[in-house]
Amino acid sequence: MRTPPLVSVVVPCYNAAAFVRDTLDSIQKQTYAPVEIVAINDGSTDNTLQILEAYASSDPRIRVVSQPNAGLPAARNSGIRQATGDLICFLDADDVFLPDKLARQVDYLMNNPAIDLVYSDYYIGDTDLSLIGLVAVRIPGGDLVDAYAAKNRFAPMVPLIRRSLIDQVGSFDESLRAAEDWDYWIRCAKAGRFGYLSGPVAIYRSHPSQMHNDGDRMFHGGRRVIDKHFRADGVRYRRALACFYWANAKCRITDSKVRAALYLLASEYHSRLAGGVSRD
């Protein structure tokens, strides 16, 4: 009989008092039992730390680490260093797991020893976690790095990862102020094998204060990721830029039609240099 592996859930927290109770509750309600929760208080100025400590006082599985504010990648890295599980996943302090997330994904990895990272689908929710959409993640066949050159494929709370892959890939890039998860999944794609388990496993909460609403920050972070990974590969670099500008044009059409038009032109320019790119 196989011993169920310990799962470490890393929860980076910065001024997360409005949402972090939902996040911690969703981990506590998992149908899979061998879990530790590593909550990193990244210099919060609200009462996030007090909430984390209250949860930890009644649940020995929760460990709270408090540090000066250093940013999301640094908080995740602190969590990785503190984690002791053979399997690791991340859950930002405004998102939630569905109750069977860990049970389903652990079972998949135990039955597929050659897979280093399992990913699934997820819901989009509003501020109150009412469901407003489903993101079907399945990555198209072919080269995994090519697929990631086109776009970031899933949110941070989606995958479950073997510690062996994380040890190989290393830390999140703390120089990135955005798109650090895209960078990390590209590095994982270069080093390991991904497996897909259908069905939603989490809810990504959409709310006004989240980083993804800072279009300029996300744009510059994404450009840095593309330059970091693909600049030396001419055709792949142009394909990545064509898809990137296309996606940003769609995001900016409501607030800046001029900028959206410029992004569309840039997308077409890089597509032609790459010999034509599908951007759907």
Instruction: Please compute the mean of the pLDDT values over residues 45-71 and round it to a whole number.
Output: 98
First to last CA, the chain: 46
Say if 278 falls within a structural domain: no
Same structural domain, 127 and 189: yes
E-assigned strand segments in the chain: 7-13, 35-42, 62-67, 87-90, 96-97, 117-125, 131-135, 160-162, 194-205
Whole-prediction pTM: 0.94
Same structural domain, 111 and 141: yes
Same structural domain, 267 and 140: no
DSSP class per residue in 246-259: HHHHHHHTTT-HHH
Give, in order, the Cα–Cα distances in Å from 182 to each of 76, 179, 189, 236, 268.
14, 5, 10, 16, 23
Residue 200 backbone phi and psi in degrees, to 5: -75, 145
Distance of CA 242 to the CA centre of its chain: 23
pLDDT tens digits, residue range 185-222?
A: 999 999 999 999 999 999 999 998 777 777 889 999 99
Strands 87-90 and 160-162: antiparallel
Is residue 276 very low, low, confident or very high in pLDDT (cuts 50, 70, 90)?
A: confident
Q: Of the given ranges (11-15, 142-146, 207-211), which has the lowest mean pLDDT?
A: 207-211
Average pLDDT in the chain = 94
pLDDT tens digits, residue range 228-270?
A: 999 999 899 999 999 999 999 988 777 778 888 999 999 999 9
Range of the domain at 222: 213-273
Q: Tokens for 60? A: 């020995």
Same structural domain, 183 and 217: no
pLDDT tens digits, residue range 33-52?
A: 999 999 999 999 999 999 99
Same structural domain, 117 and 166: yes
Residue 276 backbone phi and psi in degrees, to 5: 105, 130
